[in-house]
Amino acid sequence: LYRVCGRAAASSRSSLPAAMADLDAAEDAAKELLGIMEAFPRFKERAVDPLHPEGERGALVFRGPLKLVQTVSKLTCASKASTVGDRFKALLSRSKWVRQEELEQALDGADGLDGLDGRLAAYDPAREYVAVVVAELQRGPACWHQVGGGHPASIEDSGPWLYVLDHGTSRAGRRPGFSYTGSLRPYRVSPRRPVAEGILLPDYAADGDPRAEQAAPARSTPPVVSAAQAEKLRAVCRMGREIVDAAHRVIKPGVTTDEIDRVVHDKHMEFGAYPAPLNYHNFPKSVCTSVNEVVCHGIPDMRQLEDGDIVNIDVSPIFDGFHADLNETFCVGPGVTQKKKDLIKASHDSLMKAIDACKPGFFYRDVGGIITSHINGCGFAVDKTYCGHGVGEYFHCAPNIPHYAGNKAKFVMKVGHCFTIEPMINTGTWKDVHWADGWTAVTKDGKPSAQFEHQLLMHESGAEILTARLPTSPPLWWEEGAQPGAATPVL
């Protein structure tokens, strides 16, 4: 958490407007500096720890005239450098480590010391640090201070890590206010990962606007896939399956969802594929990671997965002009409740029952009835906000395939149609709300949600599951203990 204290008491201010203006300017600069420290998760390890013996208590102190504090703050915040060493050169060259027993003398006479002793006594040097900014003003020195945190070693030395707002179009240094429905909260999000040279970029990669998709006739009429296109779809869907499996293998308590994004992103680069979510309508990451009460479109961030969580991984590679789209929900650690496990299994089984019914001439609107019948029998609810969709040359196209009974979806299945079915199943109410980031959909009652998705290609004999699990796929929770290499039955 970003915690700053130390604004000088109003009673101690000079009554002169110039003095008050200087104090306000110093406070702005100090808070900017302390905030940018928190936006670099490796700041403790790379900047603070090398300055003192391991375990020694004290604080990183930056002190100087107002002009210097403002200049260093502006340089640091405006810099494009992404590592601690490069971003904080100006600050660190003018800062020093002060031992706890020497701080009182070093800060003697400064306003804003209230609470500092308590922070110094309470912080954990193994995983936290104390930073102090002192501005020397005409009225005397004033200081601001915070306790910052260290982070798992798997988190990269990069930054700034910020909170996502406005559907990915803006960032903030503080967690946005919101009436959160469950226990989950947004955490800081890492900078955008680069795409390797030579990988073909979609039209939205730079500005977030998928113009070709929005203008395509496929938005209103389901396209029919040719035999040559079907082969390209099989290839990219095999990539998608291997990417989901790679993500599944790293899921355990303590792993951040950002680390999952790194694994997924790197696997795309290895295949020479573009991760379709990356900057699609400004989504900031290469995968959606939806934890616990998140229904879909969770943004990978700094939060570590905890024993008992469930997490959905949704990947969508683009390769050779075609898209794959699939997702699965996994257990984190041995502490997952049976209720959550039942929710995951019900979501999976409802999908497979719907796939089993698919054949030429079957109405897309009837998919929802099959899913709803199974889910209602399990005591859960089908989320009605999101639906399956056509996919192929475009990430999203016709048809739309709602997962709830009584919908009015158009079209019937035909040979050559390629589409997804992806029921989102909620423990309690079907209703959802969106966080301030504009992407993360969570259940309105804060209870868990689970989802599975397959991409299908229609034949005369029924649906081919292009994203089917492989003999090498890690087991889902109900498959654990099965013979090594055993595959999930494909309907």
Query: What pLDDT, in 10s, does the model give residues 158-210?
Result: 999 999 999 999 999 999 999 999 999 999 999 999 999 999 999 999 999 99
> What are the φ and ψ backbone dihedral angles of 388, each rounded to 5 degrees?
-70, 175
Which of 437, 415, 393 has its CA nearest to residue 176?
437
- How many percent of the chain have pLDDT more than 90? 91
pLDDT number for residue 486: 38
pLDDT number for residue 19: 84
pLDDT number for residue 177: 94
Describe the crossing of helices 257-271 and 227-250 by its angle, rounded to 10 degrees: 140
Residue 16 has pLDDT above 80, yes or no: no
Q: Which H/E stretch holds residue 189?
A: none
Q: What tokens were used for 171?
A: 């960032």
* Average pLDDT score over residue span 141-156: 90
Confidence of residue 15 (pLDDT cuts 50, 70, 90): low
DSSP annotation of 146: E
Average pLDDT score over the chain: 94
Would you list the DSSP string of 33-96?
HHHHHHT-TTHIIIIIGGGS-TT--EEEEEEEEHHHHHHHHHHHHH----SHHHHTHHHHTTEE
Residue 431 has pLDDT above 70, yes or no: yes
Flag the least confident range among 104-108, 337-341, 398-402: 104-108
Determine the Cα–Cα distance for residues 102 and 105; give it in Å rounded to an integer.
6
pLDDT number for residue 14: 45
* Average pLDDT score over residue span 433-456: 98
Flag the least confident range among 18-27, 126-135, 163-172, 191-200: 18-27
Confidence of residue 9 (pLDDT cuts 50, 70, 90): very low
More confident position, 485 or 445: 445
Query: What pLDDT, in 10s, does the model give residues 243-285?
Result: 999 999 999 999 999 999 999 999 999 999 999 999 999 999 9
Residue 457 has pLDDT above 60, yes or no: yes
Confidence of residue 153 (pLDDT cuts 50, 70, 90): confident
pLDDT number for residue 7: 45
> What are the φ and ψ backbone dihedral angles of 415, each rounded to 5 degrees?
-60, 130
Would you list the DSSP string of 76-94?
HHH----SHHHHTHHHHTT
Residue 201 and residue 274 in contact, taking contact as beta carbons nearer than 8 Å: yes
